């Protein structure tokens, strides 16, 4: 059971190199993947070597499955990679241009650079509809203020990432565009009805799902008129009844970081891990606190043994994670160094980023492929 549980966790690591205790933990617990932050990325060469070291661990693991190597790369404020990687503008620049071709090319080019160094999962695009101008958490991370524009351009972004060969993860379901409270700090509470959400916030996710999206990130927001007890990330109503039954989503669901203040200030860590799986999450994300993944594994193991958590949920999640890896992580190794230098910071990418920021993109940049 521990082998199955571990495959459902994506965890943070400490620095630029993989430490022995981290490698041992990943192997011993069959961990599904890692998430990279600024502390983990310095240069294309360093990232490439880190990914090689991470992917080599699978040879010591029971499934021999590639690891998810994930990152938060949206453009703008959420931009982990430094030059020579292309510096991409914020998504609202895509909305101002209002071109699905530009959106597709933006995501494809960004994804090409990630794929070259071995990053295979990006927590992007942000599909939040920016409906509250006071919302500084989302702000220019949103494509637009209308559901129709976010849906149309967001779908193109999803397709661009898929074209590049990485897995996009659309976020933050059911919608973070109207909140004032930062869920990193505390739990936002919204009063929108299901009908209101369906008319606005759900629209981009509906269209992204039709674009064959494999992964959705669920937000730590409580919609009290829909589920008065649990935030969306821990809510069976949102994850099973709405996302699965109503929106007919068949891909995987990953939590936002489970150590964010919205949850850890309100629930014990063991409760969070177990409840997320009960509610319908398939992958648990732990970004920064090193004690959280072992605490989660222990809590889930205990909950299954004591029949508080249906063991079939764990088995089904395990199967689905491995199936996604089998179909989408076919070539998990990074490219050779000489090839990386031809992709990362490609002149067309630099021109494209500059043109998007300026608000006018020449046709040749949209049509060209790296």
DSSP-assigned states of every residue in 134-152: T-TTTGGGSS-SSHHHHHH
* Residue 256 is a catalytic residue: yes
Please compute Rg for the chain using Cα positions.
Answer: 19
> Quick one: 330 exposed, middle or buried, by C-beta within 10 A (0-12, 13-18, 19+)?
exposed
DSSP 275-316: HHHHHT-SBEEE-S-TTHHHHHHHHHHHHHHTTSS-HHHHHH
End-to-end CA distance of the chain: give it in Å, rounded: 43
Catalytic hit among 24, 53, 98, 184? 184
Give the rounded distance of the alpha carbon of 344 from its chain centre: 21
Q: What's the rounded Cα separation, in Å, for the pair 204 and 241?
A: 18
**Which residues make Cβ contacts (< 8 Å) with residue 356, sequence separation at least 6?**
88, 89, 93, 94, 97, 102, 106
Query: Tokens representing 236?
Result: 């069976």
Would you call 184 a catalytic residue per the annotation? yes
Among the listed residues 256, 257, 259, 346, the single catalytic one is: 256
Dist CA 80 CA 86 (whole Å): 11
Distance separating alpha carbons of residues 279 and 7, to the nearest angstrom: 18
CA distance linking residue 120 with residue 166, whole number of Å? 5
Catalytic residues: 184, 256
């Amino acid at each position: 059971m521990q082998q199955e549980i571990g495959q459902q966790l994506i965890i943070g690591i400490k620095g630029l190199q993989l430490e022995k205790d981290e490698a041992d933990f990943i192997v011993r617990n069959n961990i599904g993947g890692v998430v990279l932050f600024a502390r983990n990325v310095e240069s294309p060469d360093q990232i490439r070597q880190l990914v090689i070291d991470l992917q080599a661990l699978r040879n010591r693991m029971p499934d021999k499955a590639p690891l998810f190597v994930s990152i938060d790369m949206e453009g703008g404020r959420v931009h982990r990679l430094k030059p020579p990687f292309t510096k991409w503008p914020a998504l609202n620049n895509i909305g101002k241009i209002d071109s699905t071709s530009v959106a597709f090319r933006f995501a494809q080019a960004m994804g090409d650079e990630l794929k070259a160094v071995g990053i295979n999962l990006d927590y992007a695009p942000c599909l939040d509809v920016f409906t509250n101008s006071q919302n500084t958490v989302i702000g220019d991370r949103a494509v637009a203020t209308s559901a129709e524009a976010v849906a149309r351009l967001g779908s193109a972004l999803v397709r661009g990432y898929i074209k590049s060969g990485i897995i996009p993860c659309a976020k933050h379901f059911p919608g973070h565009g109207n909140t004032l409270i930062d869920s990193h700090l505390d739990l936002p509470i919204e009063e929108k009805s299901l009908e209101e959400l369906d008319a606005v916030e759900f629209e981009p996710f509906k269209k992204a799902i039709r674009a064959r999206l494999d992964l959705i990130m669920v937000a730590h927001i409580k919609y009290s008129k829909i589920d008065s007890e649990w935030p969306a990330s821990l809510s069976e109503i949102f994850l099973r009844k709405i996302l699965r039954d109503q929106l007919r989503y068949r891909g995987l669901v990953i939590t936002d970081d489970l150590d964010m203040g919205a949850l850890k200030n309100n629930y014990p860590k063991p409760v969070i891990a177990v409840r997320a799986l009960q509610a319908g999450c398939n992958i648990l994300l732990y970004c920064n606190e090193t004690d959280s993944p072992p605490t989660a594994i222990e809590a889930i193991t205990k909950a299954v043994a004591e029949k508080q958590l249906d063991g079939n949920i764990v088995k089904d999640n395990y199967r689905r994670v491995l199936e996604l890896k089998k179909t989408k992580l076919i070539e998990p190794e990074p490219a050779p160094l000489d090839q990386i230098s031809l992709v990362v910071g490609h002149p067309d990418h630099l021109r494209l980023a500059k043109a998007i920021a300026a608000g006018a993109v020449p046709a040749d940049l949209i049509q060209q492929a790296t």
